[in-house]
Amino acid sequence: MTQYDYIVIGAGSAGCVVANRMTEDGETTVLLLEAGKEDTKPEIQIPLEYPKLYGSEMDWGYFSEPEPYLNNRKIFCPRGKVLGGSSSINSMVYIRGNHHDYDHWQELGNSGWSYQDVLPYFKKSENQQRGADTYHGVDGKLSVTDLQAPATVSKRFVEAAVAIGYNHNPDFNGVQQEGAGLYQLTVKDGKRHSAAAAFLVPILKHPNLTTITGALVTRLLFEGNCTVGVEYMQHGQLHQARVNKEVILSAGAFDSPKLLMLSGIGDAEHLQAMGIPVVVDLPGVGQNLQDHFLVPVAHQAIQEFHPAITSNGGAEAGLFLHTQSNQDAAPDLQFFFGSILWGVPTSTDYGMGFTVTVSPTHPQNIGSVSLSSPDPKDPPIIRINFLQSQSDMQKVIEGVKIMRQLFDTNAFDQFRGEEVGPGAEVTSDEALIDYIRSVCITGYHPVGTCKMGTDPMAVVDPELRVHGVEGLRVVDASIMPTLVGGNTNAPTIMIGEKAADLIKAPLRV
Catalytic positions are 445
Taking the C-alpha atoms of residue 506 and residue 222, their distance in angstroms, rounded to an integer, is: 22
Contact criterion met (CB below 8 Å) for 373 and 405: no
Contact criterion met (CB below 8 Å) for 137 and 127: yes
- Phi and psi at 18, nearest 5°, equal -60, -45
Quick one: angle between helices 115-125 and 489-504, nearest 10?
A: 100
User: Residue 248 pairs with which residues in a beta bridge?
Assistant: 8, 473
Sign of CA dihedral 197, 199, 200, 202: positive
Taking the C-alpha atoms of residue 68 and residue 62, their distance in angstroms, rounded to an integer, is: 18
Quick one: angle between helices 390-407 and 429-439, nearest 10?
A: 100
DSSP state of 506: G
Taking the C-alpha atoms of residue 166 and residue 411, their distance in angstroms, rounded to an integer, is: 14
Taking the C-alpha atoms of residue 423 and residue 426, their distance in angstroms, rounded to an integer, is: 6
Q: What contacts 107, CB < 8 A, 6 or more positions away? A: none
Contact criterion met (CB below 8 Å) for 353 and 417: yes
Q: What contacts 375, CB < 8 A, 6 or more positions away? A: none
Contact criterion met (CB below 8 Å) for 329 and 169: no
Pairing of the two strands 126-128 and 76-77: unpaired
Sign of CA dihedral 407, 354, 361, 155: negative
Contact criterion met (CB below 8 Å) for 228 and 222: yes
Taking the C-alpha atoms of residue 470 and residue 485, their distance in angstroms, rounded to an integer, is: 33
